[in-house]
């Protein structure tokens, strides 16, 4: 059972007093005011599975209205940005919704615990606040020292904790948003040197939560959501928080840092509250199965028979991990048929396609070689036996037009591999304050180049990899430019000496790697150089990288002279680009 004190009870799963609406609202303000008429809400747990806070959507609405009046009274104007440190708490939820009542854009950013050291975190925070031209910050009290460092040189209207905002005498009438106004900015996690803030409108947000709840993962009256995902990540923010709010669901949150310490707390809360829906990158399922194997008593008292949807997304889906999870937790009622693969990205607010409920993982067996390039026909036989399991990520939501295109921008027939292009209401308006990058991925006709590689089969999407350079490890995004820039700060390296790529590790996991041009033949200096690069990258970005030294002028370039990460990875994986002894 959920451990609670006498004053704390979780919000109910069922609420017959309020008919459910599936996010069919024009703005988030309309959505919260409807949800406030019911009894459901958000609940917060610690790593032991104990309730630490419980708030109804009605209470969130009351707090948000006060916050909105404070923001307008403090001088925040429509469209201003507030960096909002994404603590898993009712304070975050209240402030995020409160920003809507002032038509101010919350910009969720990670806690220090989700990054590699204070120096790297402060640098990340500064870059993202400069990128969005932040006008204010809201952060937990324990971050005061960090925030004081990060805000140096910035012209901000107000900074502080939620209590600091509430303690002001400021008060003014709400400034309510329209459907085409921006609702928030979503930064890709891990982006420091070259951040890209995805600009999401009210219309896009509601279209996506409506599409996901009606078509992607059709809700039923008994559904209850459980999540450990961070609020600065699109899956955590939109998939669990915003969808729950806009569809009047009760949701149970475990802080991400608590999950990291005690992964089985996720399953403990699912069992205690009889949660029916949850989502995670593959690695979340992996760590739970591994942890359970370490403790003979891990399954005692747990019951996962209520879980009807165990969603997977945010990174390449690994069937072997999911099979192990299902085998491990089948004795306590978990069904492998609950697995629900999906595909999404922040540039589409979140959800793009979803598998079928109650079916589990559907696999397409394809020859590995036929997935390595664009415009390839899929082969179902392999001379060398190298076959790959490709997971069916399901049917696109009805709002989307979808095309698979080759390198010449020509649409391909089904079962041919190419780049995935999407068009629909949920597609972002722009990368905020970054017209050049926006033009690179978003056409005037509204087509988004996702940068992902895949194919269509029977109307469903199968993802095979990424054409774009983004490196994803354990569900977290790492921009190669950030990693390269960090390494190039060392005196012995020049701009253009480093390429960051990903390489397959154990169990098909993605491993960050840098290929570095080296000009010295001294083995001792090479060893020191390797260690220095690894430490510099870790200090600046929080990423642990493999380091491979290559010869001078060994890294491939494009016809325009730019380093080519795609070619570098291909050459390295094929053995044509050899590392030198270090």
pLDDT of residue 560: 42
Low-confidence stretches of the chain (pLDDT < 50) are 1-7, 189-193, 373-375, 559-560
pLDDT of residue 375: 44
pLDDT of residue 369: 60
CATH homologous superfamily of 479-574 equals ANL, C-terminal domain (3.30.300.30)
Nearest-angstrom CA–CA distance, 439 and 409: 15
pLDDT of residue 368: 60
CA separation, residue 61 to residues 77, 204, 342, 406, 520 (Å): 21, 21, 31, 48, 63
CA separation, residue 230 to residues 92, 306, 470, 562 (Å): 11, 23, 19, 35
pLDDT of residue 561: 54
As given in the structure block, the two tokens for residue 244 are: 């729950």
Q: Provide the strand spans (E) within 406-519.
A: 416-423, 430-431, 448-457, 460-466, 471-473, 476-478, 498-504, 510-517
Nearest-angstrom CA–CA distance, 87 and 184: 16
pLDDT in tens, 49-93: 899 999 999 999 999 999 999 999 999 999 999 999 999 999 999
Please tell me the pTM assigned to this model: 0.82
- β-pair type (277-280, 225-227): parallel
Three-state SS annotation for 533-559: HHHHHHHHHCCCCEEEEECCCCCCECC
As given in the structure block, the two tokens for residue 136 are: 């204010």
pLDDT in tens, 109-161: 988 875 556 777 888 788 889 989 999 999 999 999 999 998 988 999 999 99
- The dihedral built from the CA positions of residue 500, 504, 510 and 511, taken in this order, carries a sign that is negative
Query: Between vectors from CA 196 to CA 193 and to CA 197, what angle results, nearest 5°?
Result: 130
| Selection from 252, 253, 238 nearest residue 202 by Cα | 238
């Amino acid at each position: 059972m959920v451990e609670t004190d006498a004053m704390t009870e979780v919000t109910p799963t069922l609420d017959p007093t309020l008919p459910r609406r599936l996010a069919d609202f024009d703005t988030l303000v309309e959505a919260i005011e409807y949800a406030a008429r019911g009894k459901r809400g958000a609940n917060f747990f610690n790593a032991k599975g104990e309730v630490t806070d419980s708030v109804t959507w009605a209470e969130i609405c009351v707090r948000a209205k006060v916050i909105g009046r404070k923001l307008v009274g403090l001088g925040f104007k429509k469209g201003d940005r507030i960096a909002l440190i994404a603590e898993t708490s009712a304070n975050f939820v209240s402030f995020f919704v409160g920003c809507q009542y002032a038509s101010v854009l919350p910009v969720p950013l990670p806690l220090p615990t989700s990054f590699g050291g204070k120096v790297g975190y402060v640098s990340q925070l500064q870059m993202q606040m400069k990128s969005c031209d932040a006008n204010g910050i809201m952060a937990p009290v324990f971050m005061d020292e960090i925030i004081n460092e990060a805000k140096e040189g910035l012209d901000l209207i107000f900074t502080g904790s939620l209590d600091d905002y509430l303690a002001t005498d400021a008060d003014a009438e709400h400034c309510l948003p329209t459907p085409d106004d921006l609702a928030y900015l979503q930064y890709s996690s891990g982006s420091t040197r070259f951040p890209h803030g995805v600009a999401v409108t009210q219309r896009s947000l509601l279209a996506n939560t409506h599409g996901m709840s009606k078509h992607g993962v059709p809700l039923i009256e008994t559904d209850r959501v459980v999540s450990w995902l961070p609020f600065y990540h699109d899956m955590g923010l939109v998939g669990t928080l915003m969808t729950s709010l806009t569809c009047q669901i009760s949701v149970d949150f475990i802080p991400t840092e608590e999950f990291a310490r005690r992964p089985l707390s996720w399953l403990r809360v699912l069992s205690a509250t009889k949660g029916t829906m949850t989502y995670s990158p593959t690695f979340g399922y992996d760590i739970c199965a591994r942890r359970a194997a370490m403790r003979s008593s891990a399954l005692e008292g747990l019951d996962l028979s209520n879980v009807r949807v165990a969603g997977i997304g945010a990174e390449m889906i690994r069937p072997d991990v999911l099979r192990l999870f299902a085998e491990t937790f089948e004795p306590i009622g978990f069904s492998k048929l609950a697995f629900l693969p999906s595909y999404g990205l922040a540039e589409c607010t979140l959800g793009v396609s979803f598998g079928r409920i109650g079916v589990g993982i559907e696999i397409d067996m394809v020859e590995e070689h036929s997935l390595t390039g664009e415009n390839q026909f899929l082969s179902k036989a392999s001379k060398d036996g190298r076959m790959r399991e490709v997971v069916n990520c399901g049917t696109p939501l009805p709002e989307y037009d979808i095309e698979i295109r080759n390198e010449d921008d020509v649409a391909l027939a089904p079962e041919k591999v190419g780049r995935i292009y999407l068009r629909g209401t949920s597609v972002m308006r722009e990368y905020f304050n970054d017209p050049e990058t926006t033009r690179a991925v978003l056409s005037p006709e509204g087509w988004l180049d996702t940068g992902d590689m895949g194919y269509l089969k029977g109307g469903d999407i199968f993802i095979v990899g990424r054409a774009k350079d983004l490196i994803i490890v354990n569900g977290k995004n790492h921009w190669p430019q950030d990693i390269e820039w960090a390494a190039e700060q060392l005196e012995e390296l020049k701009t253009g000496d480093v390429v960051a790529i990903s390489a397959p590790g154990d169990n098909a996991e993605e491993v960050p790697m840098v290929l570095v041009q080296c000009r010295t033949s001294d083995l001792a200096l090479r060893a020191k150089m390797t260690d220095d690069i690894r430490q510099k990258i870790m200090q600046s970005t929080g990423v642990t990288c493999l380091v491979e030294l290559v010869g001078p002028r060994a890294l491939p370039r494009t016809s325009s002279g730019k380093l080519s990460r795609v070619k570098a990875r291909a050459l390295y994986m094929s053995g044509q680009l050899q590392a030198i002894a270090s």
